[in-house]
Amino acid sequence: MPRESVCFKVENINDKYNFKLIKKRLDSIKGVLSVSLNDDNKQVSVDYDNTGVSRNRIEESLSEMGYDVSTVIGYQHVL
């Protein structure tokens, strides 16, 4: 199973409840392996199986929820 990781900066998060909603939504996507949240930096990190889901699909999911999303460049995460 090919694995990848991506980190998104989510600008318009208001509180920890938003993070819970994001985690629940992303965890429900087939192919997402784990979701980590950093509320201090407003970042969402996702490990996923790239044969089941794409980075674009994960980003679209966040955008569909109404969040302003950008990919964190230079993000390094060891699976």
Domains of the chain by residue range: 3-71
For position 60, what pLDDT does the model report?
95
- Percent of the chain beyond pLDDT 70? 90
Kindly report, residue by residue over 33-69, the tens digit of the pLDDT: 999 998 888 899 999 999 999 999 999 999 999 999 9
Q: Is the pLDDT of residue 20 over 60?
A: yes
Q: Is the pLDDT of residue 79 over 50?
A: no
For position 75, what pLDDT does the model report?
57
- In the beta sheet, which residues pair with residue 70? 9
d(CA 31, CA 53): 5
Token code pair at residue 35: 């979701």
- Any idea which fold 3-71 has? Alpha-Beta Plaits (3.30.70)
Hunting for tokens 């819970």 — which residue is that?
A: 20
pTM, entire model: 0.86
For position 77, what pLDDT does the model report?
55
- In the beta sheet, which residues pair with residue 38? 43
